[in-house]
Amino acid sequence: MKRLLPLALAAASMIAMPVAAQAKDQRPQSHQIHKSYKAPAKSHQKSAYQRFNQGDRFDRSRAANYRSVNYRTVRGLKAPGRNAIYVRAGNDILLINTRTNRVVAVYHDRFR
3-state percent breakdown (helix, strand, coil) of the chain, nearest 5: 20, 20, 60
pLDDT at position 10, please?
76
Prediction pTM value = 0.56
Q: How many CB atoms within 10 Å of residue 88?
A: 18
Q: Return the SS3 of 92.
A: strand
* 58-84: pLDDT as tens digits: 988 888 889 999 999 999 999 999 999
